[in-house]
Amino acid sequence: MNLKSKNIVSVRDLSKEEIKTILQKAKEMEELLNSNKSLDTMRGKILANMFFEPSTRTKFSFASAMQKLGGQVLTLEDTESTSIVKGESLIDTIKMMEKYSDLIVIRHPREGSARLAAEVSSKPVINGGDGANQHPTQTLLDLYTIRRLKGKIEGLNVALIGDLKHGRVMKSLAYALARLDARLTLIAPIGMEMPQVIVEELIEKFDADIMRTTSITSGIKEADVAYVCRVQTERFEDVYEAEKMQRAFRITQDVLKHAKDELIILHALPKTTEIDPKIDETRYAKYYQQAFYGVPVRMAIISLLVK
Residues taking part in catalysis:
57-58, 86, 107, 135
- Nearest distance from C-beta of residue 63 to a second copy, angstroms: 6
CB of 153 to a second copy, least distance (A): 22
> How many other β-carbons are positioned within 10 Å of the β-carbon of residue 171?
21
- In contact, 185 and 211? CB cutoff 8 Å: yes
Q: How many residues does the chain have?
A: 307
Q: Least distance to a second copy from the beta carbon of 280, Å?
A: 8
Select 62 or 227, whichever has its Cβ closest to a second copy.
62
Residues near a second copy (CB under 8 A) are 37-39, 43-46, 54, 56-57, 60-61, 63-64, 67-68, 70, 72, 74, 76, 82-83, 85-89, 91-93, 95-97, 99-101, 269-273, 277, 288, 291-292, 294-295
Smallest separation, CB 221 to a second copy (Å) = 28
Shorter beta-carbon distance to a second copy: residue 39 or 242: 39
Q: How far is the CB of 182 from a second copy (least distance, A)?
A: 25
Q: Which is nearer to a second copy, 94 or 194 (CB)?
A: 94
Is 152 or 278 the residue whose CB approaches a second copy more closely?
A: 278
Q: Which is closer to a second copy, CB of 96 or CB of 248? A: 96
